[in-house]
Amino acid sequence: MSTRTPKPRALQPADYLKKILTARVYDVATESALEVAKNLSRRIHNTVLLKREDQQPVHSFKLRGAYNKMAHLTPEQLKKGVICASAGNHAQGVALGAKRLGTKAIIVMPTTTPSVKIEAVKALGGEVVLAGDSYSDAYTHALTLEKKNGMTFVHPFDDPDVIAGQGTIAMEMLRQLQGLNLHQLDAVFVAIGGGGLIAGVANYIKAVRPEIKVIGVQMDDSSAMMQSVQKGKRVTLNDVGLFSDGTAVKLVGEETFRVSKNLVDSYITVDTDAVCAAIKDVFVDTRSIVEPAGALAVAAIKQYVAEHKTKGETYAAILCGANMNFDRLRFVAERAEVGEEREALFAVTIPEQPGVLRRFCELIGKLPSFGGSKSPRNVTEFNYRMSDQTKAHVFLGLTTGAKGESSKIAAHFSKSGFEAIDLTHDELAKEHIRHMVGGHSSLAHEERILRFEFPERPGALMKFLLAMRPGWNISLFHYRNQGADYGRILMGLQVPKADNKAFTAFLDGLGYPYVEETQNPAYRLFLQR
């Protein structure tokens, strides 16, 4: 007679439906809003709905699943406390849930965790233990402490109670559609890390409204779930991209993989630039800044519409988190325009001759609109350093009116006698080269360095160039639009000493604020030979 314990039956959508309907989440979570993204909807000719999980007390959906798991523990288990491993949103969810239930919570975090997240967990009453350099190290240490202290481990995604807690989001969404007077929902787009969120959402939707598509979204450098489904087994990634740290998971859960394999309709991967553009889209419609993981679904909707040419459909995106590191905002702003293809980048070669720069600027001003946009074209970046007696290389950024316009602009430059390379999709150029244009120049004699504030309006640079004397040569030019109503420009000008008086009169007559930096030690070290 066999004494082997039979394997428990795999939970089906009907089982999960019951668990979701009876989940305990509202002790700590709120029913987040479902809003129409009016600007984005109008732009892509489809209705886009935003499920605002960024509005939760910990600015993430994670507290739903964490609390539901802890709320189902016995009094004896709660007395011993709970433990988890996390460097982010799950940690805050567990800490808040434990505080509400009156139990002890130990949060094991990697030593590399930013102090802002450590302090956030402590503020919610969690006890922080730092261990290892990565999540995997922290996870291993958490399991050791779990056994040592007899505590209950709260998994961030691979647990039916956690999955059911996350599934309450789908329950709310389908109910909220009526309040928006919407009866159609064609697809829900869900970011995937370990898979807890999409497993909960897919189980509820396929049990109640199976005609609605559930589409999983991953970063192109962290697509563990998509690769696992394609190969029919869980795949461990060697490395994951860290930009979307909330979804940077090397191995998805056993249960989340099983559910996703059976219930998720399709998968989309998006890149960093697309996510940055989506963060901006969400900000424009909500005035809230979501973290990269929170914008994945929006980026995927835009990509889906572009690929399938849909119109008049309704899509929902779950904004799953808004715990954005402030330091990352500059990078996001830098890449958002490129991600939306509202900015094109070029390397342009021009002859090193008097008057050529002015002719090139005139060409930029007269560029046709290849995408049909009637908006004026603006220069977003212009970097140049004299380095050769016969030719000059300019790093140029321009606003664009439509996707695919950059290649046509590059061709137009080349046709007009200025050899141009389209760098819009060149990662090296976007990440590094744009910041490295410059350096010493053996040709820049009698060089004067000045910082200007130019008004951000068409013709400001041309006014400057037209007022210059023919004998004054621009040896360095560095400009980047940072979103202000004025542009900061660093310029090197070769001015003969005999023209100093005339040059001063020229500067004063421009009416642009300026500071001379010729004696600046940074300039003398890095730019002056």
pLDDT in tens, 399-410: 887 778 889 999
Task: Look at residue 47 in the predicted model and tell me its pLDDT.
Answer: 97
Name the residue with tokens 């089982």.
15
CA 49 – CA 318 distance, rounded (Å): 8
Name the residue with tokens 């309704």.
314
Task: Look at residue 1 in the predicted model and tell me its pLDDT.
Answer: 46
Ranges of CATH 3.40.1020.10 domains, the chain: 341-526
- DSSP character at residue 321: B
CB atoms within 10 A of CB 376: 11
- DSSP character at residue 499: G
Task: Look at residue 190 in the predicted model and tell me its pLDDT.
Answer: 97
Hey, which CATH number is domain 64-156, 3.40.50.1100, 3.40.50.720, 2.40.40.20, 3.30.460.80?
3.40.50.1100
Q: Give Cβ neighbours of residue 78 (< 8 Å, ≥ 6 apart).
A: 70, 101, 102, 103
Task: Look at residue 280 in the predicted model and tell me its pLDDT.
Answer: 95
What is the share, in percent, of the chain residues with pLDDT greater than 90? 52
Nearest C-alpha neighbor of 90 from the set 62, 116, 117, 70: 62
Give just the sign of the alpha carbon dihedral 442, 526, 456, 418. positive
Distance, C-alpha 24 to centroid of its chain: 32
- For 370-426, what is each residue's pLDDT tens digit? 766 666 677 888 888 888 888 888 899 888 877 788 899 999 999 999 999 999 888
Task: Look at residue 402 in the predicted model and tell me its pLDDT.
Answer: 77
CB atoms within 10 A of CB 223: 24
Task: Look at residue 267 in the predicted model and tell me its pLDDT.
Answer: 97
Ranges of CATH 3.40.50.1100 domains, the chain: 13-59+161-325, 64-156
Token pair, residue 92, equals 């805050």
Give the residues of the chain that fall short of pLDDT 50: 1-2
CA 103 – CA 91 distance, rounded (Å): 15
What class has domain 13-59+161-325?
A: alpha beta
How do 419-422 and 473-480 pair as beta strands?
unpaired
Q: How far apart are the first and last CA of the chain?
A: 90
SS3 state of residue 226: helix
- For 104-146, what is each residue's pLDDT tens digit? 999 998 887 777 778 889 999 999 999 887 677 788 899 999 9
Return the CATH architecture of domain 341-526: 3-Layer(aba) Sandwich (3.40)
Task: Look at residue 431 in the predicted model and tell me its pLDDT.
Answer: 79
CA 488 – CA 427 distance, rounded (Å): 25
Task: Dump the DSSP string for 334-386.
Answer: HHHHHHTT-EEEEEEEEE--TTHHHHHHHHHHT---TT---SPP-EEEEEEE-
